[in-house]
Structure 1
Amino acid sequence: MEMFATDLERLAFLLEADAALAIDPDELGTDAAEQKAPEEQPPEKRPKYITNYIGSKQKLVDWIWRNTPDGVSSVLDAFSGSAVVAYMYKSKGLRVFANDRLRYSHHAARAIIENSSTRLSEAEIEKLLADNPKAKTFVQDNFKGIFFAKGVHALIDSLRANCDDLSGYKKDIALFALGKTCMSGKGGFGHFSSSTDYGKRQDTPEEFKKRLKANIERINALIFDNGKENKAYRGDVNEILPKVKADLAYFDPPYATEFSTTNYEKAYHFVEGLMTYWDGLTIKADTKVKNYETSHVTVTKGNASDFFQEFLGNATHIPHWLISYRDHAYPNEQQMKKIIGGLGRQSRMKTKDHKYSITSKHGEASSAKERLFVCLKGNQSHADTDQAAKPVPMAAAANIHTSIPVELCLDENAGLNAEAMSGGLPGDPQFTFILCRTGTNRNGDHFTAEELAGRHMTAINKKVDLQHSQEFGDIVGGVVAADYLEDENGGRVECVGELYTGDTPNAQLAYKLMKRGIITQVSMECDYEEGECSVCHKRFKSKADYCTHLRKFKGRELDGKPVFETLHGVTFTGLGLLDRKGADENARILQVASVQEPSVEHQPKGDPTMDEKTNKPDESSADAAKKKQERQEDNPAPGGELEKENRQLKAQVAELQKRIQELEAEQKAAASKARAHKLISKLEKQGMDFGEDRDTELKRLAELSDDAFAATEAAYEKMAKSQKADAKAQPEPEKEPDKQKSKASSETPMRSSAGVRPHDVDDRKLSLEDRLRSGFMAAYNNRVGNESNETVEIN
């Protein structure tokens, strides 16, 4: 159906959605003006329900509907708020239960969800707008000078008194419209958490009345009968959930993000108090916004997990769940999946870029990725809910969304090709890992809690590579999410990475190695603006300017105390995957997401799952498996002999492969030892004497990779030629003018990698040949007993 009656109506929606401005229906043209009649409008004439409520999902209702499972006939909107999602489900013909603990939200749900036919007449609207000399003066007495322009406070007192002359759904409509009008005045942001901006509202009493009338007429036009008995509740979600039987529970709960926390009762305290005219509420006299005392607990980072665990635990009788969420929230996505899984549900997460218009911050806080967890009971498969997307009018989609996500949908009658299914790697290529912890790593780099808490987001959209390689072919993925968490051991940056398994063979190999437990460690890469010495507390913007403590003792001890560099202005630039421990032993992979995918249950017999390969079974499970095998051998089932023979053949093949690998390793070791011996002999003929270290050097050369051996051979030959000219000559260190050093340090940020110990403290870029020459020269001097000017550690 057409989402808007006229083009002007569409424009009104966009303006109000993005800027919280109300537009008078008189200005929307003839078609819209006809909607004033207090009778049900046909679908093509019914206006779009729009709201300026904090966190409203009005721009996401089509996306939520597309991800609603087929076959659902009833839904509970457990945190209904403005009721925009509940209204969408009502318009789709579902039976709707809407609940919210706030009175304003309850009146809204009663007015347009539970109510199917009652409207305010023109005469009742005029009576509502009339002056009431018997009205009390609570708003005038307590809110003078804030929130509204002069004269409007007295008008609100009068209007609220007139609402009490109505009853039933008519009173719900009046209170809903009055609250909406209070929230959407000129220059108003919607909520009442600050008194500083509300003086800008220029609504005169007559303008306020005009907007209230327009809101009532708009609400009248929204009311319709969908043929179902819908219900609005007002209560604590944990008390309502067990009482409601529905096919689907939709949750849009309040949640805390790294940017803020939201307490809707505090944010809308004026409107919420107005619903009862502050009956039984005590206003805090010492507050600028005059909010009232409440015992309602704000959802914070600390209590968020318990909050979700409790209300989801009370919804286990409802077959389907949809949970709206956003990035940077607590609990994070992985913790949410863990909570959902602990309640016997499988979940998949949908993501969509979204711009929050109603927010007190901009930038990262308003530009977000909206999350939608689609949850099923454990005995259902994901395929049960992967139906074709529900149709959405293109005109509506084009005019509502600032970005259009592309979703590919298969024809319901089209089968999946087995050949296509076998291509690529199965499972979810995402993995979680600890990027960095507070404290000092083995490189002597020190990270404070304040630094990680403020800079952890810089890791997002950075590369994942193999062992800090700078080659493009070794980039195997990217970081898609980051969070700063704290526990009894301190703070840590926990991230989600994604491997590009569909793009590069290296990423596919890394994925397999991670699942087999071969790649288990990670190592952060970062730039930083300044370093601070732990001994003298001097700050440096270039490693060339290091003090003596950092230059000689960083990562070690001086007078029994550790010497480290505190990093300031950190920007994480990437992540290296390691098969060994790096400088930060706590930086490790926590979970490869696909390991816990339900698809492992469908693996064929005789082909062990990855968990069975990587996890060592306990004695009881091993005994049980042995007994089961013995029973099968004693009483073979049909086809059992064939299965047994298949297992034996597999074991033989595995043994042969192992033997081949051992022979290849022996052959390669022999070849490496031969070439090392050849190089040593050649160097000795050129006059180089290794002395007692000959065997040690021979062993070291034999263990080098091909590339490392070639580079070593070239460096040795150059060094031998240099020694032949002057055996005692030592290369003079390159000296740069101080000005040139300063210029270089100002252009290039200091860098740190937690994969290996840094070899030097110079920021200059040296070629591999230069570094090998310097290292081998130092090693040679040590062998012949000379003193070296610098100590270089070679890994």
Structure 2
Amino acid sequence: MGSKYRIVPHLADVFAEIGGRTSLDAFSGSGVVAYLMKAMGYQVTTNDFLAFPAVISRATVVNHGTLLTPADVELIGGPTADGRDFIQRTFDGLYFTPDDRRFLDSAWSHIDRLEPVKRDLAISALVLAAARKQPRGVFTVTDLRYDDGRRDLRLPLREHFGETAAAYNHMVFDNGLPHRAVVGDVFDLPAEGIDLVYLDPPYAPPRDDNCYIKRYHFLEGLSVYWRGQTIMENTRTKKLVKKYTPFSYKRTVTEALRRLFKKFKDSTIVLSYSSNAVPDAAVIRDLLAEVKRDVEVRTVDHVYSFGTHTSARRRFASEYIFIGR
């Protein structure tokens, strides 16, 4: 929904201008910006309030050299180790075919036995496989109403997993520095000693909502096999209880941004924000100017991947890159 994949080249230019050695991706999401930071030679800390972004960061940023072997992939895609059926029972008739749901349970029976780094790689591949198989990659619908005939919607999850595992293996490299991934509230993070802070908070839209849990609850649950999660059994989609963030609401987002900028006032701040959201660019610039002498705004035309139908007018937006030095 909010992936920054398409604006990574613009962010790379900004980061190259800023320089520095240490960086924080405070709302890491898909992990593409944190991965960019690692590729550019930063010592990276990532944070997100959801579990599956942290798993992805551990697999691709923290991980320097561990890969899934062909034997690992074959084992995970093979017969179940313990006969578990939680996903088959809980999501009976939802999202995937019976064979796909059986595979997810079986895969986790082996993932549970892997050493930690291989486990992170395998979970990341499993999450990506599930996202690719689900129409539009979001779990707000339970049928194939958005079936556009793509190969991804036809390929069994077991085969998806083989492909995504290979893709994640290809991403692993060592930049010679230690990194870490955190799951938590951005306001609880230490602010000292960070040269570059990248902020991509949830956007507060004028209408509708930006609830990541509503759209990605299945991926969040899958990343931990629903341990410690509360499923809302009365919902059609079996979604998880929503986590509160002040950035999601028009009445609280402005003060939350002010607190955020004040917290990281001693670092160079780079903020991504959308013209589809509130507050507007002028307000954000003024907020940054409260703690930064030099505030620059760059504009990038952007098409969001969420809502790929041609009538989804809110897909088209300007992405603002605010730079506070």
TM, length-normalised to structure 1: 0.39
Secondary structure of 2:98's counterpart equals coil
Task: Please give the alpha-carbon distance, in whole angstroms, between the structure 1 residues aligned to 2:322 and 2:60.
Answer: 27
Q: Structure 1 residues 193 and 206 mapped into 2: Cα distance closer, same or farther (>3 Å)?
A: closer
Q: How much does 1:367 deviate? A: 1.0
Task: Please give the alpha-carbon distance, in whole angstroms, between the structure 2 residues aligned to 1:315 and 1:160.
Answer: 39
Q: Which runs of 5+ in 2 are unaligned?
A: none
Q: Is the 8 A contact 1:152 1:204 kept in 2?
A: no
Q: Structure 1 residues 259 and 197 mapped into 2: Cα distance closer, same or farther (>3 Å)?
A: farther
Is 2:59 aligned against 1:111? Answer: yes
Q: Structure 1 residues 338 and 193 mapped into 2: Cα distance closer, same or farther (>3 Å)?
A: same
> What's the counterpart of residue 14 of structure 2?
67
Greater relative contact order (Cα 8 A, min sep 6): structure 1 or 2?
A: 2
Q: Is the 8 A contact 1:74 1:247 kept in 2?
A: yes
Trace 1:615-764 onto structure 2 (pairs within 5 A). Answer: none
Is 2:188 aligned against 1:216? Answer: no
Q: CA RMSD in A?
A: 2.2
Q: Is the 8 A contact 2:136 2:146 kept in 1?
A: no
Trace 1:214-613 onto structure 2 (pairs within 5 A). Answer: 214-242=163-191, 245-297=193-245, 299-318=248-267, 320-359=268-307, 362-376=311-325
> What's the counterpart of residue 144 of structure 2?
197
Q: Structure 1 residues 258 and 294 mapped into 2: Cα distance closer, same or farther (>3 Å)?
A: closer
* Sequence identity (%): 29
> What's the counterpart of residue 117 of structure 2?
169
Q: How much does 1:153 deviate? A: 1.2
Task: Please give the alpha-carbon distance, in whole angstroms, between the structure 2 residues aligned to 1:264 and 1:127.
Answer: 32
- Post-superposition Cα deviations, 1:380-419, rounded to whole Å, max 9, x if no partner, equal xxxxxxxxxxxxxxxxxxxxxxxxxxxxxxxxxxxxxxxx
Q: How much does 1:345 deviate? A: 4.2
Q: Structure 1 residues 167 and 331 mapped into 2: Cα distance closer, same or farther (>3 Å)?
A: same
Secondary structure of 1:350's counterpart equals strand
Q: Which amino acid aligns with 1:276?
A: V
Q: Which amino acid aligns with 1:195?
A: T
Task: Please give the alpha-carbon distance, in whole angstroms, between the structure 2 residues aligned to 1:273 and 1:70.
Answer: 37
Secondary structure of 1:256's counterpart equals coil
Q: Is the 8 A contact 1:341 1:347 kept in 2?
A: yes
Q: Structure 1 residues 204 and 339 mapped into 2: Cα distance closer, same or farther (>3 Å)?
A: closer
Q: How much does 1:363 deviate? A: 4.7
Q: Structure 1 residues 351 and 161 mapped into 2: Cα distance closer, same or farther (>3 Å)?
A: same
Task: Please give the alpha-carbon distance, in whole angstroms, between the structure 2 residues aligned to 1:279 and 1:217.
Answer: 27
Task: Please give the alpha-carbon distance, in whole angstroms, between the structure 2 residues aligned to 1:307 and 1:82.
Answer: 22
* Range moving further from structure 2, 199-208 or 164-173: 199-208
Task: Please give the alpha-carbon distance, in whole angstroms, between the structure 2 residues aligned to 1:95 and 1:77.
Answer: 11
Task: Please give the alpha-carbon distance, in whole angstroms, between the structure 2 residues aligned to 1:213 and 1:295.
Answer: 32
Q: Is the 8 A contact 1:76 1:250 kept in 2?
A: yes
Q: How much does 1:104 deviate? A: 0.7
Q: Is the 8 A contact 1:145 1:199 kept in 2?
A: no
Q: How much does 1:86 deviate? A: 1.0
Q: Which runs of 5+ in 1 are unaligned?
A: 1-53, 377-795
Trace 1:178-189 onto structure 2 (pairs within 5 A). Answer: 178-185=126-133, 188-189=135-136
Task: Please give the alpha-carbon distance, in whole angstroms, between the structure 2 residues aligned to 1:55 and 1:166.
Answer: 31
Task: Please give the alpha-carbon distance, in whole angstroms, between the structure 2 residues aligned to 1:241 and 1:85.
Answer: 20
Q: Is the 8 A contact 1:139 1:153 kept in 2?
A: yes
Q: Which amino acid aligns with 1:71?
A: G
TM, length-normalised to structure 2: 0.91
Q: How much does 1:277 deviate? A: 1.6
- Post-superposition Cα deviations, 1:275-294, rounded to whole Å, max 9, x if no partner, equal 22222322222211011224
Q: Structure 1 residues 91 and 133 mapped into 2: Cα distance closer, same or farther (>3 Å)?
A: closer
Q: How much does 1:313 deviate? A: 2.1
Q: Is the 8 A contact 2:88 2:98 kept in 1?
A: no
Task: Please give the alpha-carbon distance, in whole angstroms, between the structure 1 residues aligned to 2:154 and 2:6.
Answer: 32
> What's the counterpart of residue 159 of structure 1?
107
Task: Please give the alpha-carbon distance, in whole angstroms, between the structure 1 residues aligned to 2:140 and 2:180.
Answer: 31
Q: Structure 1 residues 295 and 57 mapped into 2: Cα distance closer, same or farther (>3 Å)?
A: closer
Task: Please give the alpha-carbon distance, in whole angstroms, between the structure 1 residues aligned to 2:218 and 2:231.
Answer: 10
Q: Is the 8 A contact 2:122 2:165 kept in 1?
A: yes
Q: How much does 1:108 deviate? A: 0.4
Q: Structure 1 residues 89 and 204 mapped into 2: Cα distance closer, same or farther (>3 Å)?
A: closer
Secondary structure of 1:302's counterpart equals helix
Task: Please give the alpha-carbon distance, in whole angstroms, between the structure 2 residues aligned to 1:174 and 1:105.
Answer: 14
Q: Which amino acid aligns with 2:43?
A: R
Task: Please give the alpha-carbon distance, in whole angstroms, between the structure 1 residues aligned to 2:291 and 2:9.
Answer: 28
* Corresponding residue pairs, total: 320
Q: Is the 8 A contact 1:149 1:199 kept in 2?
A: no
Q: Structure 1 residues 203 and 140 mapped into 2: Cα distance closer, same or farther (>3 Å)?
A: farther
> What's the counterpart of residue 95 of structure 1?
43
Q: Structure 1 residues 253 and 236 mapped into 2: Cα distance closer, same or farther (>3 Å)?
A: same
- Post-superposition Cα deviations, 1:292-313, rounded to whole Å, max 9, x if no partner, equal 2244246121221122122222
Secondary structure of 1:216's counterpart equals helix
Task: Please give the alpha-carbon distance, in whole angstroms, between the structure 1 residues aligned to 2:314 and 2:236.
Answer: 25
Task: Please give the alpha-carbon distance, in whole angstroms, between the structure 2 residues aligned to 1:232 and 1:248.
Answer: 16
Q: Structure 1 residues 131 and 94 mapped into 2: Cα distance closer, same or farther (>3 Å)?
A: same
Q: How much does 1:170 deviate? A: 0.5
Is 2:56 aligned against 1:142? Answer: no
Q: Is the 8 A contact 1:75 1:249 kept in 2?
A: yes
Q: How much does 1:121 deviate? A: 1.0
Is 2:1 aligned against 1:58? Answer: no
Q: How much does 1:357 deviate? A: 2.1
Q: How much does 1:59 deviate? A: 1.1
Q: Is the 8 A contact 2:26 2:200 kept in 1?
A: yes
Q: Which amino acid aligns with 2:270?
A: L
- Post-superposition Cα deviations, 1:472-520, rounded to whole Å, max 9, x if no partner, equal xxxxxxxxxxxxxxxxxxxxxxxxxxxxxxxxxxxxxxxxxxxxxxxxx
Q: Which amino acid aligns with 1:212?
A: F
Q: Is the 8 A contact 1:79 1:253 kept in 2?
A: yes
> What's the counterpart of residue 661 of structure 1?
none
Q: Structure 1 residues 344 and 102 mapped into 2: Cα distance closer, same or farther (>3 Å)?
A: same
Secondary structure of 1:79's counterpart equals coil
Q: Is the 8 A contact 1:118 1:170 kept in 2?
A: yes
Q: How much does 1:132 deviate? A: 0.7
Secondary structure of 2:105's counterpart equals helix
Secondary structure of 2:189's counterpart equals helix
Q: Which amino acid aligns with 1:249?
A: V
Q: Structure 1 residues 345 and 265 mapped into 2: Cα distance closer, same or farther (>3 Å)?
A: farther
Secondary structure of 2:222's counterpart equals helix
Q: How much does 1:241 deviate? A: 4.0
Give the greater-gyration-radius structure (CA): 1
Task: Please give the alpha-carbon distance, in whole angstroms, between the structure 1 residues aligned to 2:141 and 2:232.
Answer: 14
Q: How much does 1:257 deviate? A: 2.1
